[in-house]
Structure 1
């Protein structure tokens, strides 16, 4: 059985887990091609304009997989079983969004219900389609989780972003002149078309990048304990906890926050962190992306930010 995975949104972060799980179940995994402008244009015509660009590009990936003739397309329902902790409504309702926007997917969606808390991925409900006997699928889930947790452990141990940890080898890092905390949802950072390669751009400007997957969970949680009110969004909570840790880290020269236009959770978390950064006098750059974002514009802003950080370091060194 050929099962397609849309190579963006949830797969920008959890692709290693899902590929391992499906292969353990005996399926042939088919990835959609890398994101591009044509996908965003096609996908954006199928849903209301107020949807964020990651969902628009996701719809384009679904169309691409249909054209590749796969038997089923993986669209998990992301959920949480932790009190006062929720995924974005678009993630929870993603299978229905796809089903009603693209009628050709009727009967061709693989929809496991999944709880993602920390590094562990738990299937609350197995896919309705019989990929394998239930006991076999549970074993596949355990093996996929073990491989996934090893991958995240490598991120923390070697200070790698997830795409680097997925590669067997990587170029030797040069001497970094700056240390920058990079914040943003995985699909905003690791889908190269959405992010326009922001992590690589920062590295090219002589910065070493620190992200949430390089931190132990207790450090992320530490900053959240002092809050008077809970943060209800699942991944927004991770970003806020990571951001508060970055703000308190004297070894970091600055913070870059990458968001997409129209993101509800980001409207809270981004504002919160920007106010905290101003109060603590920590350099903070916010980049808002949509389908009209220009590569040269982002490059100019990142160069200016890094130049400012370098000048500040030189001033303090005198």
Structure 2
């Protein structure tokens, strides 16, 4: 059986688990290519106008592979941490895709509660039965997928740059090079190194969250806030670049929390949608780079004069 896995949304974070699980069950994996103009155009064509860019892109990935596979995996991810949730659009993602894109093949849409091994094993059992009645084989596929995900070293941490920034945002905005216009390469070309949240221990993130008057409901919001504020307060970065989808309600809250916490710390917010122009993107990055350099020189001069 050919299983289609769209390279959109949380594929970038959990693809080792996804691909290993279905492969171990004997399926042939069919993935869409990296996001490109054709996929974006298909997503815009089929998806509702009110959806954010990542959801539109996901529609495009599904449309690209729907005729190349027997069944498509549309992750209805509900939770990845206890007492926390992710974007509400994930809850209804399968219905959006199935009702918007014509002639869809069979889909895998069972809710995924990944906050514990027990809850995730339940999903694996319910999904695995589509491929085999052998529960032992399903269990082995599940364990192999967990191991593959655990061994996966995600994240980015550039070394040997004088200036460094935290690159913040939902994983699908940070790692989709087409969506973010290859922002990491652009920053590197400007002499700026990048660090992402995967390189920070969870206890440091949690310490920052504990300082808030109320714990965030959303896992990625918690990570974005805790990771960026920890690095800034401990002088491990020179600035923050936050990539946010236009009209993202979760990001709008987190960005204000970061501003409130860090006051005048350099923060560049890059809003993206299907109309974002690369020229404007480049101009803002260049201006931010110039500002960081001037700020760094001023800091060094003040430091030397104090001696």
What TM-score, normalized to structure 1?
Answer: 0.86
User: Alpha-carbon deviations, 1:56-96, whole Å to 9, x = none?
Assistant: 111111111123x2011111210127564122111111111
Q: Distance in 1 between matches of 2:119 and 2:175?
A: 19
Question: Could you tell me which residue of structure 2 aligns to residue 147 of structure 1?
Answer: 148
Give the number of the structure whose alpha-carbon radius of gyration is greater.
2
3-state DSSP of counterpart to 2:161: coil
Sort the Cα spacing of 1:38 and 1:8 in 2 relative to 1 into closer, same or farther, 3 A.
same
Equivalent runs, 1:185-224 vs 2, <5 Å: 185-224=170-209
1:290 to 245, 263, 273: 273
Aligned length: 298
User: Alpha-carbon deviations, 1:252-295, whole Å to 9, x = none?
Assistant: 11111100101111111112112323x2x311111000011122
Identify which range, 6-15 or 128-137, moves more after superposition.
Answer: 128-137
Whether 2:289 is the aligned partner of 1:306: answer: yes
Q: Distance in 2 between matches of 1:119 and 1:209?
A: 32
2:108 to 107, 110, 118: 110
Q: Identify unmatched segments of 5+ residues in structure 2.
A: 302-307
Q: Distance in 2 between matches of 1:301 and 1:235?
A: 25
What TM-score, normalized to structure 2?
Answer: 0.89
Judge conservation of contact 1:119–1:149 (CA < 8 Å) in 2. no
Calculate the aligned-residue CA RMSD, in Å: 2.3
Whether 2:243 is the aligned partner of 1:243: answer: no
Give how far 1:241 is off.
1.6
Sort the Cα spacing of 1:82 and 1:12 in 2 relative to 1 into closer, same or farther, 3 A.
closer
Identify which range, 16-25 or 120-129, moves more after superposition.
Answer: 120-129
Sort the Cα spacing of 1:196 and 1:121 in 2 relative to 1 into closer, same or farther, 3 A.
farther
Sort the Cα spacing of 1:81 and 1:37 in 2 relative to 1 into closer, same or farther, 3 A.
closer
Question: Could you tell me which residue of structure 2 aligns to residue 65 of structure 1?
Answer: 65
Give how far 1:136 is off.
1.7
Judge conservation of contact 2:80–2:219 (CA < 8 Å) in 1. no
Q: Distance in 1 between matches of 2:80 and 2:15?
A: 22
Give how far 1:2 is off.
1.0
Sort the Cα spacing of 1:238 and 1:121 in 2 relative to 1 into closer, same or farther, 3 A.
farther
Equivalent runs, 1:38-77 vs 2, <5 Å: 38-67=38-67, 69-77=68-76
Question: Could you tell me which residue of structure 1 aligns to residue 36 of structure 2?
Answer: 36
Q: Distance in 2 between matches of 1:81 and 1:2?
A: 27
